[in-house]
Amino acid sequence: MKYKLIKVLSICLILSFLTGCWDQKLLKDTMFLSTVAYEKKKDKVISTIAIRSYTSKEGTLVNKTYHVAGDSPRDDRTKINQQVSGIVMSAKKRIVLFENQLAKEGVLELSDVLYRTSESPLTAKYVIVEGKPSTIVELQQVGEELIGEYLDGVVHTAEVNSLVPVETLQSLCTVLFDEGKGLALPYVKLNTENKTVDVIGTALFNEDKFSGITLNPEESKVLLLLGNQKGKYMIMSHKITIHDQQYVVSYDVSGAKAKMHLTPDAMYGAKVTIPLHVKVSINEFTKNEMSSPALTKKVQEEIEKILQKKAEKVVGKLQKANCDFLEIGREAAAYHPSIWKRLKWRQDYKNISINPKVQVEIIHRGIIN
C-alpha cells in the first residue's frame, strides 16, 4: 500500500511540471499563405499575398489575393490579419517574389521577419521579377495549378534543367553573411500573351543588393558549370561553321568538372585560373552523319570555342556585378590566407584576374554513329 501511494504521488508531482498544449494553433482558425510579392511605392512596402482557402460547395482549393501597404513586411502581415477571418501563417509559403527595382535596395532587410519567425519555411525560394510581381500573383492560377504551386514547379524545373542555381531561404542567409561568396537568384517575367511566367535567366547580386546585371539562360548554364553546380540535366545548342557551312549541334552535358588555381599577382592582387572539363553527348547534328574522327574533332573544337567565349563573358559579368558566385574568396581564405589578408575582398574582387580554360570531350555521338 505504501509503495502504491509513493507511486501515485510521484506521478502527480511529474504531471505538475508538464506544460501541456500552451501554444496550439488550430487548423480551422488558420489561413495558409502560399506566395508573397514585394514591391515599393514611394516609402511604402506593397505586399501582394495569395492565401489558400476551400470553396464551401466542392471543398476544392482556391486562391484569394490581398494587397496591403505598410512600413515593413511585418506591418503588412498585421494589416492582412485585420482583413481575413483567421490567422495567416507562412508555414506553407513556397515562393517569395521581389520587384527588380526593390531588390536593388537589398533583400536582407525585407527577409528579417522570415528569419525571426519559427513558422517560416526554410525551403522557400526567392525569385527576382522583371517588372511588377503583383501581376504574377494576381493570375491566381495557371491551368489547374494555384499560383504558389505553379511558381514552385517553374523554379524547380529550371533548377533541374540547370537554368538557375538552387537557393533557398536557409542557404541564402549563409551566402549573404560570408564575404567570400556571392548570391545569384532566378530571374523571371510575366508572359502577358500566355498568362504564364518565363524564366529569363539569373540575377547577380552585390552582397544583398541586385546589381542590375543578369545572365541569359545559356550564360546561366555556363555559370553553373564553372561553379560545379550543374543540375540533373543540361542541354545546350549552338550554330557552328564547318567548311563555310552552318550546322546546328545540340548536346547533353553528361559531366563537368571545374577546378581552381589561385596565385598571388603583383598587378591584379590575385590571379585565378579555372580549368573546366566538359563531357558531352551529341543528340542532334544537322549534317546527319558524324562517323569521321576528323569531323568529330572539328565539332568538338567549335563547341569548345563557343563555351570558352561564353565563360569569359560570364566571368566579366560576375566581376562587373561584384558577385563572387564561384566562391573564389572562400578558396583564398581557406588555402591562401596571405592573399586573403592582403586584399579587401569586397573592393578588390572585381579587379583580380580570372581566366577560365574550357576543354570539351565528345563521349557519345548518337546511336547511328
Residue 54 lies in a domain: no
Check the CA dihedral 263-269-274-275 and report its sign: negative
pLDDT of the residue at 19: 62
pLDDT of the residue at 59: 58
pLDDT of the residue at 7: 79
Spatial distance between the Cα atoms of 342 and 335, rounded to a whole number of angstroms: 14
Domains in the chain, number: 1
Can you tell me whether residue 348 is helix, strand or coil? helix
pLDDT of the residue at 170: 87
**pLDDT tens readout for residues 187-205:** 999 999 999 999 999 999 9
Q: Determine the distance from the C-alpha atom of residue 263 to the mean position of all C-alpha atoms in its chain, rounded to a whole number.
A: 30
pLDDT of the residue at 367: 59
Residue 41 lies in a domain: no
- CATH of residue 321's domain is 3.30.300.210
Spatial distance between the Cα atoms of 359 and 116, rounded to a whole number of angstroms: 46
pLDDT of the residue at 206: 94
pLDDT of the residue at 213: 96
- Helices in 82-197 by DSSP H: which ranges? 100-103, 108-116, 134-137, 147-160, 169-176
pLDDT of the residue at 354: 95
pLDDT of the residue at 145: 86
pLDDT of the residue at 1: 64
Residue 314 lies in a domain: yes
Determine how many CB atoms are found less than 10 A away from the CB of residue 96.
Answer: 22
Q: Determine the distance from the C-alpha atom of residue 66 to the mean position of all C-alpha atoms in its chain, rounded to a whole number.
A: 26
Residue 360 lies in a domain: yes
pLDDT of the residue at 293: 84
Residues 6+ apart with CB under 8 A from 236: 218, 221, 250, 251, 253, 280
Residue 187 lies in a domain: no
Low-confidence ranges of the chain (pLDDT < 70): 1-2, 17-29, 53-60, 288, 367-369
pLDDT of the residue at 202: 97
Phi/psi-derived region of residue 238, left when phi > 0, alpha when psi is between -120 and 50, beta in every other case = beta
pLDDT of the residue at 20: 62
DSSP secondary structure letter of residue 18? -
Residue 306 lies in a domain: yes
Beta bridge partners of 273: 261, 355
Can you tell me whether residue 69 is helix, strand or coil? strand
Residue 298 lies in a domain: yes
Residue 249 lies in a domain: yes
pLDDT of the residue at 23: 62
pLDDT of the residue at 21: 61
Spatial distance between the Cα atoms of 86 and 280, rounded to a whole number of angstroms: 54
Closest alpha carbon to 356 in 175, 219, 244, 184: 219
Instruction: Give the domain range for residue 231.
Output: 225-369
pLDDT of the residue at 22: 58
